[in-house]
Amino acid sequence: MPNLMHLLQTARSWRIDTEDPQRLSPSTPIITVLPSVEVPEKTTIYPDEVKCETSQDRTRRDTLNWLMSSLRSILPSSGHKSASGSPSELQNMLPSSVKVHRLSNAGKPPEDNGGICLMTESPFRILRVAECGNLETFQRLYFADPTRLSIKDSRGRTAAHQAAAKNRITILQFILSQGGDLNNQDNAGNTPLHVAVEHESLDAVDFLLQAGVKTNILNDKKQAAIHLVTELNKVSVLEVMGKHKDKIDILQGGEHGRTALHIAAIYDHEECARILISVFDACPRRPCNNGYYPIHEAAKNASSKTLEIFLQWGESRGCTREEMISFYDSEGNVPLHSAVHGGDIKAVELCLRSGAKISTQQHDLSTPVHLACAQGATDIVKLMFKMQPEEKLPCLASCDVQKMTPLHCAAMFDHPEIVEFLINEGADINPMDKEKRSPLLLAALRGGWRTVHVLIRLGADINVKDVNRRNVLHLVVMNGGRLEQFASEVSKAKSQTSLLQLLNEKDINGCSPLHYASREGHIRSLENLIRLGATINLKNNNNESPLHFAARYGRYNTVRQLLDSEKGTFIINESDGEGLTPLHIASKQGHTRVVQLLLNRGALLHRDHNGRNPLHLAAMNGYTQTIELLLSVHSHLLDQTDKDGNTALHLATMENKPNAIALLLSMNCKLLYNQMEMSAIDYAIYYKFPEAALAMVTHEDRAEEVMALKSSKHPYVTLALIASMPRVFEAVQDKCITKANCKKDSKSFYIKYNFSALQCSQFYADMDHKTGDALAISKPIPLPALNAMVSHGRVELLAHPLSQKYLQMKWNSYGKYFHLTNVLFYSIFLTFVTCFAYEIMRHEDQIITYNATNLTHDEYVNFSKANILNVKITPMMYMSALAIITYIILNTIREMVQVYQQKFMYFLDPNNLVTWVLYTCAVVMVFPIFWGTMYELQFSCASVTVFLSWFNLLLLLQRFDQVGIYVVMFLEILQTLIKVLLVFSILIIAFGLAFYILLSRGDHLSFKTIPMSLVRTFSMMLGEIDFLGTYVKPYYLTTEDEKSFLPFPLPAFFILGLFMVLMPILLMNLLIGLAVGDIESVRRNAQLKRLAMQVVLHTELERKLPKMLLERVDKCELIEYPNDTKCKLGFFDSILRKWFGNPFSDEGLDMAMEGVEDYVVNELDKTKRKLKEITTALETQQQFLRLIVQKMEIKTEADDVDEGVSPNDLKPITGHASKWTSPKIRKKLRSVVSFNNKGSST
C-alpha cells in the first residue's frame, strides 16, 4: 500500500513536459504561468526530445502509464470517451488547479482561459535547449519563431550566452549562420565571450574569437574579456585566446585605465603575466590613468612572483634589473616606494635584491626609508639597512622637501622603536627641518610623548627652538603633555638646571610656557610649572601676563591658582598694553565666575586707556549677568563716562545690545549726552539699529524719557523713528494704547490712548525726509508726527489705531466745527454768486420781445447785444454783490496771511491759483452794478465765476470720506489728462495746420482760420468728424447750394484717414487706459489719500488757529468706554456719517480692541526663562559632580583641563569702538519679529 501511495503522489507531481529534471538549469525558467495557454489537440513526442532520458526515467514513465490506464478503467464514464493516452485523459489526471484547457476551433484568445504553459510551448524553452545543446530541437524552435534568439532570462542572457556557458559549439554555429547577435550583453554587461571565459568553455572561446566577435566590449565592471580572464586566472582560456591575439587589444584599459598586465600584477597571477608578455607581447612600461606601471602595482600589492616576471622580461630585453626597478610613476615613486607602501617585506626584499636603491628619492625628495619610518615598519627599515649598508648613512642624512630626515618622520608619528633604532644606527639626533624643528620638537608638537621621552633619554638637545622661538616645554604645555613625566625624564637625562632654564623662556610672541598653560586651561601643567618655579608675572609682547590669558578664556581654576600663588596679590590689578586689567578682560568676555572671583579677591576698578571701566566693556558685549554682578558690588559705575563722555548705555547702543540696554534702563541709569551732544537713542537712530532703539523706546518705565530726548542731530525722536525706523515707531504706538484689565464686554472696559508720542509742543528743527537728520531751526509745524508719516508714505503708521484716534480727537475737538463752518459760509457765497448770475440773465426775455423782423443781420446782432447789456439792477443783485464782496475781502485777508506764512510755496498750490482767479472774476462781475452800467466783460467773468465757484465746492468735498475719494480720483485723472494733452498737442497742431491748408480754400468755415482749424481738430478727437458734410458732399457737389468743395481731395482723404487712426482710436484709448490706471492707483492708495487729506486739513487749521485755543481743545490722552451707551455718536455725528461718511472708520479701533496677544512671543519668553533655569541647574550639578569625583579620587583626562572657552572659538580682539567706529555696513543681527508685537519690550 505505501508503494501505491508513492505512485499516486508521483502521478500528481509528474509533468508531462518534463525531459530531464537533473539537466535543468536553476537560472532557466521551466514553467511560466500565463493567463491562458493553447494546447495542441495531439501531443507528439519527438525522438530528439528524449535523447537525454536515463533508464530510471523510462521506467518511471512506463509505470506511470500503467497506473493511469488502470485508473481510467476504474473511474466512472463521463459520457465522453477519449483516445487512450490522449491529452484530455492526462488532463483529468491533473489537479483541478492546474488543468489544461483546450481552445475551441473558433480560436478563443488566450486571455479567456487560464492555465499553465507547457515546456514545449514556453518562450524560454529555446534557452534550455541551447544549454542542452540539442541542435535539432533548437532549429525547430528557431524556425517556428526566429525572434526567440533575442529572448532573455532573468539575468538578461540570451541563447548565445547559455550555449557559450555550456560550450555548445553547434548552437553557436547555428546562431552565427542565422545572423544572430554574438555580442549581446546581459544585465551585467557580459557578452557570450565573457560568459565563455567565466565558465572556462575553451571551444566556445575559440569559436567566438574565430567568428570575429568584439573583444573590446566592457561590462559593468569596466572589464573586457582579456581583463576578466586575467582576473579569474584562467590560464587555459588565456592560452586559447593567445591563438587569436591579433583580434585582441592587449593595451585596452579597463577601470582606471588598467590593462590586463596591471590586473595580473595586482592579483599576482604570474602565469597570466607570463602569457600576456610572451604571447600577447604586452608591455610592462605602459602606465594606467593614475600613472602607475604594472611593476608599481606588483610592488604595491606585494605580488613578488609577478614582479620577478617583470624583471626577467626587462633582462630579456636588455634592460637591467636596476633600470627596471627605477621606473617612476606619476608621483615620482619607484617600485620600492610602492612596495614599502604595500607593507610586504617579501616585495621589498625582491626590489632590493633586484637592485633598487633605498636612497632613491621621489618628487617630494622622500626616500623609501622616509616612508618606512613614517609607517613604523621596523622590519622593513632593518631589512633595507641590512641589504644595503652602504646606503644607510646617506639615507639617514637625506632630507625631503620639508627638510625632514627619516628620524623626523618616525618622531612625527610617534614610533619610538624606529627612533631608537635610527639613532643607534648613526642618525643625527638634532637635525632641523624647514621650520627649525628637531625630532624632539616635532614629536612634542604632534603629541608623541613616548618618542619625546626616548629622545630625551638618548640625549636630544632640549634647548632647541623652532622658527617661532618655542622650546620643547612650550610645545609640551600647548599640546597637553604630562609635565611631571617630562620633568622627570629631563632631570634624569640632563639636570634640574636644564629644566629650570626652559621655564621662563619666551617665544616670538613673548609668551612663556605658563602663558600657554593658562590659555589652554591645563591645570596640572600650571601647577607643575608654578611648583618648578615659573615666574607668574612675566609679560608677553602685548604686556599680558598669564592671569590676563586665564581671564580672557574664562579659566576659573587657573585664575584661582595664579591668585593663590605667592605673587597673586601683586598681579591681580596689573594692566596690559591697552590698560586692561584681568577684571576688564573677564568682564569684556562675560566670564561671570571669573569676575566674581576677582571681585572677591579685591580687584580694583581701574580704567583702560580709553577711560572705560569693566562695566563699559561688559555693556559693549551685552553680558547682562556680568553687568548685574558689577553693579551689585560697585553701583557707582552705572553712570560713569569714558574719555569721550560715553556711558555704558552709549556703548551698549553702539554695539546694538538690546538686553544690556534694557537692563541698564531698568537700573535707572541716567540718560546723559556725550561730548558730541548725542544721547544713546541718537546712536541707535544714526546706526539704524532697530533692536537697540526698540529696547529703549518700548521700555516699561523709561520709554517716555527716551522719547523726550533732544539733540542737535535728532531734535525729535519721533520724527527720526518715522523717517528711518517705522517698525520701531509702530511698537511705540502699540505701547501707547492700554486696555483695562477686565472683560472686554464689561461696561467698565476702557481703552486708553496716550498721544504724547505724537505731540511736540516746543520748537524743533526741520527734518531731512530721508535720514531724519536736523537741517535748520524753524518754527514748529502743526501735527509734526502725522505730517512726517504723510511725507514718508508710512501708511501702516497712519492707519494705526493711535494715529486714527488722534485725528478723531482733533476732528471732534475743533475740526468738524471749523470745516463745516467753512463749507457753510462757502455755500452761502456760492448761493449769492448763483443768484447774481441768475438775476443778470432773468430780464433778457422781457426786453427781447421787441419786433425785429425788418432788421438786417448786423442790425439784429447789435440790437441783441444792446438788449443783453440792458439789465435792470434789482435789490437782490445789490444784496448778492455786497455779500460776494464781503466774502472776498475776508478771504483775501486769510489768503494774505497764508502767503506770509508759506512764502513761495503758496504759489505752487493749484488750489490757491484757482481761488485767486475766482475772486478776481467775481469782483469784475459785481463791481459795475454799483455804477449802473453793464459790460460784455461782466458776463464773461460771470460765467467763469459761476464755473469756478461750483468747481471749488467740488474741491471742498474731498475732505469728506464717502465722497472725497471720488473727487481725488477726478483730480488724479485730470492731472494725467493735462500732462498727456500737453505732450500730444503737437499732433493737434500738426493735423490742424494740415486741415487748414487742405480745406480753408474750399470755403469750409470750420477751417477758415488757423485758430478755428485747431479748435475744430480738437473737437474731431471726440468723434465729431462730420464726414458727410465736410468731405462727401463737397467731393460730389450733390446740391447747387453747396458752396464748399475739396480743392485737394486725395491728400485731404489721406490726412483724414491718418487722423482717424492716430487721434480718435489710438490717443483716446491711451487716455482711457491711463485713466483706468490712475483710478486703480487711487483705489490702492485710498487709505493713505484719505488719511493724508485729514492730516492736511488739521494742519491748515492749526496754522490759522490761535495757539491759546489749540492748547484748550488739545488732549494728551483719551479714554474710551466702548461698551458704554453714553459714549455713542450724537445726532450731529450720525448725520455726518450718514451723508458724508465719518472721516475715521472704526476698523482700526476695532483692531486695538480685538487685538490678540502674541502668544508666540510670550512662549519664547517662557522658554528663555526655562533655559536659563536649566543652565543654572546644570552648572550646579556639574560642580557637585566635580566635588564627588574629587572625593572619590577618580582621575580623568578632563580633570587636567580647566573650564572656559577654546582659543579658536573666541573672536579675535580687533580694538575698541570709539565714537564713530561702528561699521558703516552692518548686517542686521536678526529679523525682529517683535516689531509687530503689541506692547512687548525686551
Task: DSSP letter for 812, please.
Answer: I
> Between the CA of residue 96 and those of 75, 707, 740, 1060, 1217, what are the distances in Å?
16, 97, 88, 92, 96
Q: Pick from 1237, 1114, 1081, 1093: which is nearest to 1164 by CA?
A: 1237
Number of folded domains that form the chain: 3
Same domain, 826 and 947: yes
Whether 431 shows a pLDDT value over 90: the answer reads yes
pLDDT level of residue 780 (50, 70, 90 thresholds): low
Last residue of a domain, one of 1041, 1066, 1084: 1084
* Sign of the C-alpha dihedral computed for residues 470, 473, 477 and 479 taken in this order: positive
Q: Are residues 848 and 955 in the same domain?
A: yes
- Residue 293's alpha-carbon distances to 266, 282, 300, 950, in angstroms, are 11, 12, 11, 104
Query: Would you state the pLDDT for residue 1241?
Result: 38
- Taking the CB of residue 815, how many other CB atoms lie within 10 A of it? 21
Residue 1017 placed within a domain: yes
| pLDDT tens figures, 882-908 | 899 999 999 888 888 878 877 777 888
> In Å, how far from its chain's centre is CA 389?
64
HSE of 198, CA atoms in CB hemisphere, 13 A: 15
> Model confidence over 719-743: pLDDT tens digits?
899 999 999 999 999 989 988 888 8
Asked if 881 contacts 836 with a C-beta cutoff of 8 angstroms, the reply is yes
pLDDT at 204 over 80: yes
17: pLDDT strictly greater than 50: no
Least confident stretch, 321-330, 695-704, 853-862, 928-937: 853-862
Question: Tell me, what's the pLDDT at 95?
Answer: 36
pLDDT above 60 (res 152): yes
For residues 826 and 923, membership in a common domain is answered with: yes
Phi/psi at 766 (5° precision): -65, 150
Domain end (from 1068, 1084, 1100): 1084
Find how far residue 679's CA is from the centre of its chain: 37
Weakest-pLDDT range from 36-40, 937-941, 1141-1145: 36-40
DSSP state of 18: -
pLDDT recorded at residue 636: 92
pLDDT, residue 855, reads 61
Task: Give the residue-averaged pLDDT of 1014-1020.
Answer: 88
For residues 919 and 1012, state if they share a domain: no
At residue 84, the pLDDT reads 36
C-alpha to C-alpha distance for 497 and 1104, rounded to whole angstroms: 96
Q: Are 675 and 638 in contact, with CB atoms under 8 Å apart?
A: no
Instruction: Give the mean pLDDT of 837-852.
Output: 60
- pLDDT beyond 60 at 38: no
What average pLDDT does the segment 1144-1154 reach?
44
Q: Tell whether 1200 is covered by a domain.
A: no
Whether residue 158 has pLDDT greater than 80: yes
pLDDT level of residue 816 (50, 70, 90 thresholds): confident
For residue 605, tell me if it sits in a domain: no
- Assign 3-state DSSP to the chain and report helix, strand, coil percentages, each to 5: 60, 0, 40
Which amino acid is residue 436, in one-letter code? Answer: K
Q: What average pLDDT does the segment 1200-1224 reach?
A: 48
Q: How far is CA 666 from CA 613, 662, 732, in A?
A: 20, 6, 18
Q: Are residues 1016 and 890 in the same domain?
A: no
Q: What are phi and psi of 177, to 5 degrees?
A: -65, -30
Are 247 and 217 spatial neighbours (Cβ–Cβ below 8 Å)? no
Residue 192: pLDDT band (50, 70, 90) is very high
How sure is the predictor about 14, in pLDDT bands with cuts at 50, 70 and 90? very low
pLDDT in tens, 1052-1076: 888 888 888 888 888 888 888 877 7
Q: Are residues 947 and 1048 in the same domain?
A: no
Q: In terms of Cα–Cα distance, which of 235, 240, 242 is closest to 267?
A: 235
Angle formed at CA 978 by CA 977 and CA 980, multiple of 5 degrees? 65
Q: Name residues whose C-beta falls within 8 Å of residue 644's C-beta, 6 or more positions apart in sequence.
A: 610, 611, 674, 675, 676, 1218, 1219
Positive/negative CA dihedral, 367, 370, 373, 377: negative
Has residue 439 got a pLDDT over 60? Answer: yes
- If one compares 1027 and 719, the residue with the highest pLDDT of the two is 719
Residue 546's pLDDT is 93
Helix axes 1049-1060, 961-999, angle to 10 degrees: 160
Rounded CA gap, 1089 and 964, in Å? 9
Same domain? 940 vs 856: yes
- Same domain for 1009 and 985: yes
Tens digits of per-residue pLDDT, 89-132? 333 333 333 333 333 333 334 444 444 555 566 778 888 888 88
Give the pLDDT confidence of 687-710 residue by residue, as tens digits: 999 999 999 999 998 998 998 888
770 in a structural domain:
no
Is there a single domain that holds both residue 864 and residue 903? Answer: yes
**Pair (943, 974) in one structural domain:** no
Same domain membership, residue 912 and residue 975? no
Backbone torsions φ then ψ of 914, nearest 5 degrees: -60, -40
Whether the pLDDT of residue 1128 is over 70: the answer is no
Q: In what order do the strands lie in the sheet with 751-754?
A: 737-739, 751-754, 1117-1120
- Per residue in 541-558, pLDDT (tens digit) is 999 999 999 999 999 999
What integer pLDDT is reported at residue 1040 of this predicted model?
58
- Label residue 1186 exposed, middle or buried (CB < 10 Å: 0-12, 13-18, 19+): middle
Does pLDDT of 420 surpass 90?
Answer: yes
Confidence of residue 87 (pLDDT cuts 50, 70, 90): very low
- Alpha-carbon distance of 698 to 1156, in angstroms, equals 19
Chain centroid, CA 1221 distance in Å: 30
Phi, psi of 883 (to 5 degrees): -65, -40
1167 occurs within a structural domain: no
What are the tens digits of pLDDT across the range 857-885?
A: 566 566 566 666 666 777 888 888 889 99
Q: Is residue 739 part of a domain?
A: no
Length of the chain in terms of residues written: 1242
pLDDT over 70 (residue 997): yes
For 367-392, the pLDDT digits (tens) are 999 999 999 899 999 999 998 889 88
Model confidence at 5: pLDDT above 60: no
In a domain, 530, yes or no: no
What residue numbers bound the domain in which 1016 lies? 969-1084
The answer to whether residues 823 and 957 belong to one domain is: yes
Q: What percent of the chain has pLDDT over 70?
A: 77
DSSP of 1159-1220, one letter per residue?
Answer: HHHHHHHHHHHHHHHHHHHHHHHHHHHHHHHHHTT---GGGGB-SS--TTTSPPP-----TT
Instruction: State the pLDDT at residue 505.
Output: 92
Residue 752 phi, psi dihedral angles, 5° rounding: -110, 125
Closest CA to 716 of 697, 699, 690: 697
User: Is-contact 163 133, C-beta < 8 A?
Assistant: yes
The per-residue pLDDT for 949 is: 92
Closest alpha carbon to 273 in 301, 246, 290, 289: 301
> What b/e readout covers 887-923, taking b as 16+ CB neighbours within 10 angstroms?
bbeebeeebeebeeeeeeeeeeeeebeebeebbebbb
For residues 147-162, give the mean pLDDT: 88
Q: Is residue 297 within 8 Å of 256, Cβ to Cβ?
A: no
Q: Return the minimum-mean-pLDDT range out of 8-12, 791-795, 961-965, 1173-1177.
A: 8-12
Cα–Cα–Cα angle for 1178, 1181, 1184, rounded to 5 degrees? 155
Cell of 270: 604570474
Residue 256, pLDDT above cutoff 90 = no
More confident residue, 188 or 1197: 188
Region of 579 please: left (phi>0), alpha (psi -120 to 50) or beta: left
On whether residue 1112 sits in a domain, the answer given is: no
Work out the angle at residue 781's Cα, subtended by the Cα atoms of residues 777 and 786, and round it to the nearest 5 degrees.
125
Q: Which of 1084, 1110, 1142 is the last residue of a domain?
A: 1084
481: alpha, beta or left? (left if phi > 0; alpha if psi -120 to 50): beta
> Packing angle between helix 910-926 and helix 816-842, nearest 10 degrees?
40
